[in-house]
Amino acid sequence: MNYKRNLFISFEGPEASGKSSQLRLLSKYFHLNNIPHLVTREPGGTTNAEKLRKIILNKKESITPTEEILLLMAARLNHINKVIKPALKAGKIVISDRFADSTFVYQGFVNNYGMQKTISLHKIFLDNFLPQKTFLFLLSPKQINKRLQNRKISNKYDKINPSFHAKVIKGYKKLSNNNKRFCIIKGDTSIEHIHDKIVKELNI
Ligand code: TMP
C-alpha cells in the first residue's frame, strides 16, 4: 500500500470529545496496513516533557499563565526535536494527541493570555512548526459534561463546568475558521463513522 511519508497529524478538541479513542483506532488501522507511524501526546511525548506535564496539569500547585505557556513551549520544543522530527525524518507518520492548537485555545483564548500573542510566541520559539492536518473534535458543552460525569477527573482542565467547555469550543471554532489545516469532526456520531471519515480524509 502506498502511504504518505513525513506526515504530521494532530487530534484536537475539548475534554471527552472522543479524540483519544479515535487516535487509537487510526493507529490500529495503520498497524494493520503496515504503515510506519508513531503515536505521541502533549503535554508530554518525551521523558522531560512528561515531567513538565505533571507540573503544568497539577491541581494543587498553581502556576501563572506566563509560566504555564513557557513550560508548555519548552516541553513542545523538546518533543519536536527529540521525537517528532526524527520520526518524520525516518519516514513515519506522526499522530499527536494535542499539539500547539491546545495552547492557542486553552492558554491564549480561554485563560485570556491572547490567542494572537500565543501564536506569535509559537512563531518565535518554535519556528511555527505545525501539523499538516488537524482533526478537530467538537461536541456541545452539554454533551461534554454528560460524558465527564462518568469519568474520573484527572487534571485541572477536566472541570465539570459548562461555561469553561463552551469557551474551549468557541476558541477552537475561532482558530479553525477558514483554515484548511483543520478537518472538523462531529464527536456525537458513531465511532465507525468518524473513523471512516478520518481515513477518507487522509486518503492513505
Ligand atoms: P488530555 O491529555 O486528557 O487531552 O488533557 C490534557 C489537558 O491539558 C487538557 O485539559 C488540555 C490541557 N492542555 C493545555 O491547556 N494546553 C496545551 O498546550 C496542551 C497540549 C494541553
For the CA atoms of 98, 69, 114, 127, the dihedral, rounded to the nearest 10 degrees, stands at -70
Instruction: Encode pLDDT of 46-104 as tens digits.
Output: 999 999 999 999 989 999 999 999 999 999 999 999 999 999 999 999 999 999 999 99
* Residue of 68, 122, 157, 167 to mutate, ligand 1, most atoms within 8 A of C-beta: 157
In the Cβ-directed half-sphere of 65, how many Cα atoms lie within 13 Å? 15
80 falls within a domain? yes
Q: How far apart are CA 160 and CA 148, in angstroms?
A: 7
199 lines ligand 1 (CB under 6 A): no
Helix axes 191-202, 19-32, angle to 10 degrees: 60
pLDDT band at 1 (very low <50, low <70, confident <90, very high): low
**Atom of ligand 1 lying closest to residue 110 CA:** 15
> How far is the centre of ligand 1, averaged over its atoms, from the C-alpha of 102 (Å)?
6
Instruction: Encode pLDDT of 40-59 as tens digits.
Output: 999 999 999 999 999 999 98
Count of helix runs (H) and strand runs (E) in the chain: 9, 5
Q: How far apart are CA 146 and CA 110, in angstroms?
A: 21
* Residue of 63, 76, 102 to mutate, ligand 1, most atoms within 8 A of C-beta: 102
Tell me the three-class secondary structure of 56-116, residue by residue.
Answer: HCCCCCCCCHHHHHHHHHHHHHHHHHHHHHHHHHCCCEEEEECCHHHHHHHHHHHCCCCHH
| Grid cell locating 184 | 472538523
Q: Ligand 1, atom 3: nearest CA belongs to which residue? A: 15
Instruction: Encode pLDDT of 108-154 as tens digits.
Output: 999 999 999 999 999 999 999 999 999 999 999 999 988 888 887 66
- pLDDT at residue 116, as a whole number: 98
39 falls within a domain? yes
181 falls within a domain? yes
User: What 3-state class would DSSP assign to 39?
Assistant: strand
Which pTM does this prediction carry? 0.96
- Cα 140 → chain centroid: 18
- pLDDT at residue 160, as a whole number: 67
Q: Ligand 1, atom 9: nearest CA belongs to which residue? A: 157
2 falls within a domain? no
Total domain count, the chain:
1
For residue 161, give the CATH number of its domain.
3.40.50.300
174 falls within a domain? yes
188 falls within a domain? yes
138 falls within a domain? yes
155 falls within a domain? yes
What is the span of the domain harbouring residue 181? 8-202
Instruction: Encode pLDDT of 167-204 as tens digits.
Output: 999 999 999 999 999 999 998 999 999 999 999 999 98
